[in-house]
Amino acid sequence: MTSVETLLNVEAIRQDFPVLHQEVKPGVPLVYLDNAASSQKPTQVIEAVSEFYRKHYANVHRGIHKLSEESTEAYEGARAKTATFINAASRREIVFTRNATESVNLVAQAWGRANLMPGDVIVLTEMEHHANIVPWQLIAKERGAEVRYVPVTDDGLLDLSGLDTLLSGPVKMVAATHMSNVLGTVNALEGLVQAAHDVGALVFVDGAQSVSHKPVDVQALDADFLAFSGHKMCGPSGIGVLYGKRELLEAMPPFLAGGDMIKRVTLEGAEWNDVPWKFEAGTPAIAQAVGLGAAVDYLTRVGMDRIYAYEQVLLGYALERLEEVPGGAGAWARPVQEGRGGGLHAGGMHPHDIAELLNDRGVAVRAGHHCAMPLHQRFNLVATTRASFYLYNTREEVDRLIEALYYAKSVFAF
């Protein structure tokens, strides 16, 4: 056992996650390796949400009774915790959304409609999740803008050799993932951010995978916008975050209209609320935000630096064990760079068949294109079977994965 694993005390962490202690079928314990899709929830988060509903729930803002004040304090407290977690300059730079996808759409629609003109350019990468491609394609078509793409190398890295050409002309927005949900690649975005700013473009970072697994400092990164979801970081589903520099959020028109995003309404028009509430129309996901705040507390106590270091050790061990499987790691893992996950695949067997056979042995993975069709096309793959790790996974679970892969190979004899 390495010093990193000892420091993290994974066995103690696992006791916090009730769902991990069950059997898929009699005698077959669960091995949950679908963390890139969604993480499991610790007791501390479950109890925080339950306690809020039992004792403190009411609608937030404007209410002057005790429960409303307590609910507002909890909701806004979660905003403050989230701001600290990613080192935002102010809690006013944190907008609560339903998920990272809604955060992308908010910026694409609200900022895009106010700022994109025919002939303008949006630069994306071939590595993006569909949620960071399709919203930009839609607004580009609506506004007459052009979409360009940073290619991906054979090693699964961003190919920035042609960046000067990609950033030529009226580039208004560069949107890139911080960590690939397929390759596990962690993109060192500082250079790309600086290059984009040098030509007057803004930068949107998809942090859905990175924020849950490694320390992220939005001020150091100098991202103009960054999005992530609560459900991938031990929090509830139904709550997402959009970070935006305050001056940009203040300049943007609202995305949705209705209660709480207004200060004053007349029959002739309306005056918008201050940020971030200008972008939070209607009754928000109050309990989900409280759960997110509890998840932030939990991850902060464990330590994001230690979580990331541990996951690197675990991933390294997984790649070593994959070498033992006939064909070697090269046959089972597409380019897996610095990061906490990768895509497993094997010629001669469909990824869904692998996933189904692994499930027979209690190993939960995900098969498909993982909402990243262009990236799979880049590597001439239709789909992959993805095993992705988190702070509660163990070496023993990696061993279970390898055993299940041997089983899958024996069934199909390839």
pLDDT bracket for residue 260 (50, 70, 90): confident
pLDDT higher at 3 or 387: 387
Give dist(CA 26, CA 19) in Å, integer: 16
CB atoms under 10 Å from CB of 19, counted, come to 12
**Per-residue pLDDT reduced to its tens digit, 60-93:** 998 899 999 999 999 999 999 999 999 999 999 9
**What is the structure's pLDDT at 338?**
46
Least confident residue range of 37-51, 54-68, 86-100, 332-346:
332-346
C-beta separation of 95 from 106 below 8 A = yes
Mean pLDDT for the chain overall: 92
Residue limits of CATH 3.90.1150.10 in the chain:
3-32+303-412
Residue with more model confidence, 150 or 263: 150
Q: What is the DSSP string of 376-401?
A: HHHTT-S-EEEEE--TT--HHHHHHH
Q: What is the pairing mode between strands 225-229 and 202-206?
A: parallel
Residue with tokens 């916008």: 225
Confidence label for 3 from pLDDT (cuts 50, 70 and 90): low
**Section 327-345 average pLDDT:** 50
Q: Which residue has the tokens 């150091």?
A: 220
Q: Active-site positions?
A: 371
Does residue 341 register a pLDDT over 50? no
d(CA 222, CA 272) in angstroms, rounded, equals 27
Its pTM stands at: 0.94
**95 vs 3: which has the higher pLDDT:** 95
The pLDDT value given to residue 345: 54
Distance, in Å, from the CA atom of 400 to the CA atom of 52, rounded to the nearest integer, reads: 38
Helix boundaries (H) for 323-414: 328-332, 351-360, 373-378, 395-412
Q: With bands split at pLDDT 50, 70 and 90, how would you rate the model's confidence at 337?
A: very low
Top mean-pLDDT range of 18-22, 316-320, 382-386: 18-22
Q: Is the pLDDT of residue 106 over 90?
A: yes
3-state secondary structure string, 78-123?
A: HHHHHHHHCCCCCHHHEEEECCHHHHHHHHHHHHHHHHCCCCCEEE
- CATH number of the 46-301 domain: 3.40.640.10
- Give the separation between CA 358 and CA 142, rounded to whole angstroms: 44
pLDDT band at 336 (very low <50, low <70, confident <90, very high): very low
pLDDT tens for each residue of 287-312 = 999 999 999 999 999 999 999 999 99
pLDDT exceeding 90 applies to what percent of the chain? Answer: 84
> What pLDDT is recorded for position 111?
98
Q: Tens digit of pLDDT for each residue in 191-242?
A: 999 999 999 999 999 999 999 999 999 999 999 999 999 999 999 999 999 9
Q: Is the pLDDT of residue 126 over 80?
A: yes
Query: Where are the CATH 3.40.640.10 domain residues in the chain?
Result: 46-301
In this prediction, residue 105 has a pLDDT band, given cuts at 50, 70 and 90, of very high
CA atoms of 133 and 372, how far apart (whole Å): 9
Strands of 225-229's sheet, edge to edge? 94-97, 240-244, 225-229, 202-206, 171-177, 121-125, 146-150
Residue 329 has pLDDT above 80, yes or no: no
Q: Which of 27-31, 109-113, 213-217, 340-344 has the lowest mean pLDDT?
A: 340-344
- Taking the C-alpha atoms of residue 178 and residue 232, their distance in angstroms, rounded to an integer, is 14
Cβ–Cβ < 8 Å for 240, 232: no
Name the CATH code of domain 3-32+303-412 (choices 3.40.50.720, 3.40.47.10, 3.40.50.410, 3.90.1150.10): 3.90.1150.10
Write the DSSP symbol of residue 70. H
How many of the other CB atoms lie within 10 Å of CB of 369? 18
* pLDDT > 60? residue 158: yes
E-strand ranges in 151-306 read 171-177, 202-206, 225-229, 240-244, 262-265, 270-272
